[in-house]
Amino acid sequence: MAPSFDNLTEDRGSGSEEELDFSDLRQNYDVRMEEGLDAFVVIDGLPKVPQESKQKLIRFLLKKLNSVGKTKEDAIFMPMGGDRISEGFAFVEYATPQQAVEATKKLHGTKLDKSHTLAVNKLTDIDRYGREGRVDDEYHPPHLDDFKEREHLRWWLADPNCRDQYVMFQGDFVGVYWNKKRDNPEKILDRMAWTEKFVQWSPM
């Protein structure tokens, strides 16, 4: 006679779930839901290389990336174009969001080689700016005001006789003069009520 359901004993087999070691699986495949995309950065300014040189570039880049945090080759995604040439940027996942922040602070603007300078930004920053409409898909050239020529503030330095200027404040008048060693000074301008207290040359 078969045993009833009430008389069945719990059989866990040769080992319980608590006895199994999943640490290697968690390390390789665990999804950090609480961190989202905060541990990702975007590296721009990279050389554009063919498919056969992609891994070599990644390994070269990895040395610089690991100087500020911890990442690995399979955590670097470098998109390739239809012509099998890299697009010049890559997505990188660091071990923690703090390391991603450190990468943006210390690697942004640094030289990868003589011809390439890295631009490092957090992926969440790029996503946020784009979502808020701060980045337009279409390029609009900046507005430039028409050039307006202004008076040269140091025009007196071009005096052909290499004369110095000096200023005199007497009564209500302020005058600026060319200095002449043996002759009377030459007046440049004389203005009434230009100031009430004192005059001083501008550093410009």
State phi, psi for 188 to the nearest 5 degrees: -95, -45
pLDDT for the residue numbered 180: 84
User: What pTM value is reported for the model?
Assistant: 0.48
What number of other Cβ atoms are within 10 A of residue 78's Cβ? 19
Angle 80-86-87 from CA coordinates, rounded to 5°: 90
Residues sharing a CB contact under 8 Å with residue 184, sequence separation 6 or more, in sequence order: none
Cβ distance 169 to 195 under 8 Å? yes
Q: List the chain pLDDT tens, one digit each, 204 residues.
A: 555 445 545 555 555 556 777 777 766 665 554 456 889 999 999 999 999 999 999 999 999 999 999 999 999 999 998 888 999 999 999 999 999 999 999 999 999 888 899 999 998 886 666 555 666 778 889 899 998 888 877 777 888 888 888 888 888 889 999 888 888 888 888 888 888 888 887 766
Q: How far from the centroid of its chain's Cα atoms is residue 185's Cα?
A: 56
Using the structure block, give the residue that is written with the tokens 């009434």.
192
Nearest of 112, 100, 94 to residue 44 by alpha carbon: 112
State phi, psi for 156 to the nearest 5 degrees: -65, -20
117-170, pLDDT tens digit by residue?
A: 999 999 888 666 655 566 677 888 989 999 888 887 777 788 888 888 888 888
Between CA 204 and CA 193 the distance in angstroms is 23
Nearest of 158, 201, 165 to residue 180 by alpha carbon: 165
Nearest of 162, 200, 194 to residue 178 by alpha carbon: 162
197 DSSP assignment: S
- Average model confidence (pLDDT) across the chain: 81
- Sheet order of strands, 40-44 included: 76-77, 89-93, 40-44, 119-122
